[in-house]
């Protein structure tokens, strides 16, 4: 009980910047490890003798599937964890536990549905994603093994957010480290030792996620957690889940549209540049995640601080947490973006040494990452809207960057620029810059209004 009470006390009184760093470390680690599950696979597969570039491209074609699994996890977990934290700030632990229990059941049900859909329609979807006769033989086996274990992916990633939002940083850190170590050890054993190739890479990922899922579930069913999964809370309730899904729809769209964008990119690049252009996009999108995914983790570290103090009506700590997150996010993303622009080939050669791929991907990476250095601003705005329950504003920002801007630009720019492949890659920075500017302006109005409400004694939520 003392540890549980101390966590709530920290949310309310601990120095904000120090608390942000403390909570962000496991959240960033979780995001990095989730990225590593895919990156480590691509590194090993990209260096397979003779077929490395084709195997890399084939696994890259599975990115929409992996992204959709993550997107549905975000829909439930990133919608539920902030809601639970707000209720904790209001001292309503019973309602917070009901949210946790409902989300636990929703993750399992959703995972089973996704597995069935991808098993039935997987091959047709991969061809739609831009697979060729040469790359489908690598994409399909990887996808089938991965989706068979998607329940482990969703439980480990989704439930760990409820651990982070309570402030149990050591436990959430252990969750991701367990999975990371197992995956890194098993990957070369299965890929090269057992000569399983792409199947081995996917199997190593699923086994690692399975162990992590068991670890997370054991903690949330145990006695050390402040919010516990209880049997009576497992039956889904529309009254509880609709607000969760309303808040989670924004991070869901942010992740799910990554799949749509990947499809749009790959189909266009297959048309204009063939497998080498699709392979370049696989590498570029993976490098982009070096900045984007850790920035998400920083936002998730700030989320419980903002949500708890928003529920407790402490506007000064909410503002302080946002400013700290913005500073850390901007510095981190700007640094990674600058390194990518200065040394693109270094990042490309992590995955493959094929001269044709390195030359094409290095040139395109500079274009593709042109707006990356300012992306930390949008990430901070997006995460703050989610943390204070502003579902509509968060949804608009998610739709603006990807659906309203990026997908149309992928098809429009090649009609007005002679170098078609370059035009497709150029769609990303144009979309990023416009959406960052729009998000910052919207946030300035909405956030100041919310802070005034918190500072008005008679205001109601």
**pLDDT tens digits, one per residue of 290-306:** 777 788 888 878 888 99
Per DSSP (E only), the strands in 215-287 are none
User: What are the helix (H) ranges across 312-343?
Assistant: 315-342
- C-alpha distances out from residue 67 to 74, 86, 315, 410, Å: 10, 28, 35, 19
Helix axes of 355-368 and 420-454: crossing angle, nearest 10 degrees: 40
Tokens of 114: 């996704």
Helix axes of 93-128 and 63-89: crossing angle, nearest 10 degrees: 170
Domain that holds residue 230: 16-454
Domain assignment of residue 70, yes or no:
yes
Q: How far apart are CA 272 and CA 268, in angstroms?
A: 6
Please give the tally of structural domains in the chain: 1
* Residues listed for the chain: 461
Q: What pLDDT, on a 0 to 100 scale, did the predictor assign at position 34?
A: 62
Contact assessment for residue 326 and residue 377, using Cβ atoms and an 8 Å cutoff = yes
Domain assignment of residue 1, yes or no:
no
Q: How far apart are CA 34 and CA 292, in angstroms?
A: 12
Q: What pLDDT, on a 0 to 100 scale, did the predictor assign at position 141?
A: 93
Q: Within 13 Å, how many C-alpha atoms sit on residue 415's CB side?
A: 5
Contact assessment for residue 349 and residue 45, using Cβ atoms and an 8 Å cutoff = no
Q: What pLDDT, on a 0 to 100 scale, did the predictor assign at position 52?
A: 65
Q: What pLDDT, on a 0 to 100 scale, did the predictor assign at position 212?
A: 93
Domain assignment of residue 286, yes or no:
yes
Helix axes of 2-13 and 63-89: crossing angle, nearest 10 degrees: 90
State which residues of the chain have pLDDT below 50.
1-2, 459-461
Q: What pLDDT, on a 0 to 100 scale, did the predictor assign at position 116?
A: 96
Q: How far apart are CA 189 and CA 346, in angstroms?
A: 26
Q: How far apart are CA 153 and CA 207, in angstroms?
A: 10
Domain assignment of residue 3, yes or no:
no
Q: How far apart are CA 382 and CA 446, in angstroms?
A: 12
Q: What pLDDT, on a 0 to 100 scale, did the predictor assign at position 50?
A: 65
Q: How far apart are CA 458 and CA 456, in angstroms?
A: 6
Domain assignment of residue 459, yes or no:
no
Domain assignment of residue 423, yes or no:
yes
Domain assignment of residue 42, yes or no:
yes
Q: What is the gyration radius of the CA atoms in the chain, in angstroms?
A: 21
Contact assessment for residue 255 and residue 67, using Cβ atoms and an 8 Å cutoff = yes
Domain assignment of residue 5, yes or no:
no
Closest among 114, 107, 53, 108 to 80, alpha carbons compared = 107
Per DSSP (E only), the strands in 35-187 are none
């Amino acid at each position: 009980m003392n540890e549980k009470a101390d966590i709530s006390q920290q949310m309310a009184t601990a120095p904000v910047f120090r608390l942000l760093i403390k909570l962000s470390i496991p959240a960033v680690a979780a995001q990095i490890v989730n990225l590593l599950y895919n990156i480590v696979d691509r590194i090993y597969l990209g260096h397979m003798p003779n077929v490395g570039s084709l195997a890399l491209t084939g696994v890259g074609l599975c990115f929409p599937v992996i992204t959709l699994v993550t997107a549905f996890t975000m829909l439930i977990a990133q919608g539920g964890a902030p809601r639970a934290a707000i209720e904790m700030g209001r001292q309503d632990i019973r309602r917070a536990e009901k949210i946790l229990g409902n989300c636990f059941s929703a993750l399992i049900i959703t995972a089973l549905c996704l597995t069935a859909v991808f098993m039935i329609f997987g091959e047709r979807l991969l061809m739609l994603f831009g697979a060729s006769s040469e790359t489908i033989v690598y994409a399909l086996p990887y996808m089938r093994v991965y989706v068979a274990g998607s329940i482990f992916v969703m439980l480990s990633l989704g439930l760990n957010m409820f651990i982070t939002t309570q402030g149990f940083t050591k436990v959430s850190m252990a969750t991701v480290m367990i999975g990371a170590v197992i995956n890194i050890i098993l990957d070369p054993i299965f890929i090269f030792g057992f000569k399983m190739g792409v199947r081995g890479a996917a199997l190593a990922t699923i086994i690692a996620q399975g162990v992590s899922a068991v670890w997370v579930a054991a903690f949330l069913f145990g006695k050390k957690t402040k919010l516990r999964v209880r049997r009576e809370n497992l039956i889904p309730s529309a009254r509880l889940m609709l607000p969760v899904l309303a808040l989670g729809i924004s991070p869901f769209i942010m992740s799910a549209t990554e799949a749509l964008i990947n499809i749009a990119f790959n189909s266009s690049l297959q048309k204009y540049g063939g497998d080498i252009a699709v392979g370049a996009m696989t590498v570029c999108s993976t490098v982009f995640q070096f900045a984007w995914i850790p920035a998400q983790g920083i936002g998730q570290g700030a989320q419980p601080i903002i949500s708890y103090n928003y529920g407790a009506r402490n506007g000064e700590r909410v503002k302080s947490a946002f400013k700290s997150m913005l500073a850390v996010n901007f510095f981190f993303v700007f640094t990674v973006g600058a390194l990518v622009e200065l040394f693109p080939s270094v990042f490309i050669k992590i995955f493959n040494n094929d001269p044709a791929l390195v030359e094409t991907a290095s040139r395109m990476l500079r274009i593709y990452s042109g707006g990356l250095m300012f992306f930390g601003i949008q990430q901070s705005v997006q995460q703050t809207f989610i943390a204070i329950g502003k579902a509509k504003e968060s949804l608009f920002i998610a739709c603006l960057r990807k659906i309203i801007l990026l997908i149309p630009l992928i098809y429009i720019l090649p009609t007005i620029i002679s170098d078609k492949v370059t035009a497709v890659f150029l769609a990303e920075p144009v979309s990023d810059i416009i959406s960052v500017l729009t998000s910052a302006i919207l946030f300035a109005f909405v956030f100041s209004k919310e802070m005034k409400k918190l500072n008005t004694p008679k205001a109601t939520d």
